[in-house]
Amino acid sequence: MKDPEGVLGTHRVVACVGSGGVGKTTLAAALALGAARRGQRALVLTIDPARRLADAMGVELGSEPTRLSAPVLRELGVRDGSLAAMMLDTKRTFDELVMRFARDDATRDRIFANPIYQHVSDALAGSSEYSAMEKVDELVSGGEYDVVVLDTPPSQHALDFLEAPERLVGLIDSRIARHLLHPAMSAGRVGLRLFQRGTQPLFRVLEKISGMGFLEDLSEFLLLFEEMSEGFRGRADHVRELLFGGATAFVVASGPGAGQVDQALAMAQRLGDMGASVEGLILNRMRRWPDGADGSSVASARPGEWVGLAEALAAGGLGEADARRATDGARRCAESYLLQVKRDAETTAPIVRLARTLDGFVRTVPELPRDVHDLVALGQIEAQLFRPEGSGDAPAGAGDRT
C-alpha cells in the first residue's frame, strides 16, 4: 500500500496540486520536511509570492535555495537528510532561458533591451508556469537534491502548469510571426507594410496611440523570439517527459468544503486523463475526533448519562445549577462537532473513493487552532502526513459510502 514516504523515496519530483486556499504551500513544506527526516536531500519550491512558506520555515526565501541550518534541522528530528526552500523568480528564470536559446550575445542583448520584452516577459501566457517547470528540471538535473517538492502555481486553473510549455511555445512559435508579419518585410522603414491586411486597422490605432516605435519594438520582439522557438520547443518536450515519464508524482490537496472537493475531483480526473501519476490525496483542515476519543459515544449517549455527568460535577463542588449549565453546554458543543465531523466525511467521500481507485494514499490533517507560522507547527503537520495508514487518515466512514 502506498504511503507518503514511499512516494517521496521513488520520485524525483512531487507536485502538490489543489485549488487556492487548501494549504498547498504548507503541505508541500511538510512533505519536504518528512523527506528530510527520512534521510533525503529535499527542497521545496514555491511559486506563491506570499510569505507563508518563509514564515513557516523561519528563513528568507529568494531565487536561490536556502538551506535550513544544522541546529534547526536537529531540533526538527532531521539527522542525515537536508532541507532547503526557494521561491521562483519568474523574470530571472525566463531571462536565463533567453540567454540559453539566443543565437549569440548580440541577439540576447537586443531581446533584453527590447521594451516589449521588458514589460511582458513575466506576464507572457504560461511564462510563470513554464519557468516553474524549467526550474524544477534544472534542480533535478543538478543532482544536489533527491526530491523536489513543488508548490504549484496559484493560477486560476491550478493545472495550467501541465500545459504551460506547449502554450508558451505556441505563443512564440514562428506561426505567430507569420500571421502578423508580412512575408516580404522590407529591410527599410518598419511600418504598416509589415502587417497583413487583416491586422492593419488594429496597428493603425496602435500607431496613433503609441507611435511608430511601438510597431518597431513589437516586430523586433516577434522576430527575435521566432529564432528561439526551436529551443523552447525542445525544452517543452523535455519538461513534458519529466512530468509524465514516471519521475513526477502528483499529490492532490483538498479541504472539506464542497467546492474544494469538486475542484480536487476535477483535477485528479484530469491528471489521470493526461497520463499523470496520481499517488496520493491529502485532506487538510478536517474536523475529526482527537486520537483516543470516540465520537460515537456522543451520538449514543442516553439522557441519564448526561444527568450523571451533571451530578458528578455538582458533587465535585461546582454547584447544581452551574453543573447543569456546564453539562448542557458540553452536550451541545459535542453534538455540534459530531455533525461537523460527519459532514466533512460525507463531503470528502467522493474524492477519497477516487484516490483509492487510483491506488493512492489518503491522509487527513486536522484543523489546527491557529495558522502554521513556525517550524514546530510545520512538524505537527508532517507528523500527521506520515502517520501509518488507518490511524485516523481517511474520514470515518468515507471509504464505505457509495
Q: Is residue 260 part of a domain?
A: yes
Q: Is 363 left (phi over 0), alpha (psi -120 to 50) or beta?
A: beta
DSSP string, 270-324: HHHHTT--EEEEEEEEE--PPTT--THHHHH--HHHHHHHHHHHIIIII-HHHHH
State pTM to two decimals: 0.82
CATH of the domain at 88: 3.40.50.300
Q: Is residue 214 part of a domain?
A: no
The model's pLDDT over 27-78, given as tens digits with 9 standing for 90+, comes to: 999 999 999 999 999 999 987 666 767 777 777 888 899 999 999 899 888 9
pLDDT, position 395: 55
Structural domain of 244? 4-161+233-288+356-385
- Grid cell for residue 99: 540567454
The model's pLDDT over 141-181, given as tens digits with 9 standing for 90+, comes to: 999 999 999 998 765 566 777 776 676 666 665 454 455 54
Q: Which of helix, strand or coil describes residue 17?
A: strand
Q: Is residue 92 part of a domain?
A: yes
On the question of pLDDT at 4 being above 50, the answer is yes
Q: Is residue 124 part of a domain?
A: yes
Count CB-CB contacts under 10 A for residue 130. Answer: 29
Angle, CA 261 vertex, CA 350 and CA 158 arms, to 5°: 130
Total count of domains within the chain: 1
Q: Is residue 242 part of a domain?
A: yes
Q: Is residue 27 part of a domain?
A: yes
Q: Is residue 305 part of a domain?
A: no
Q: Is residue 303 part of a domain?
A: no
d(CA 54, CA 46): 10
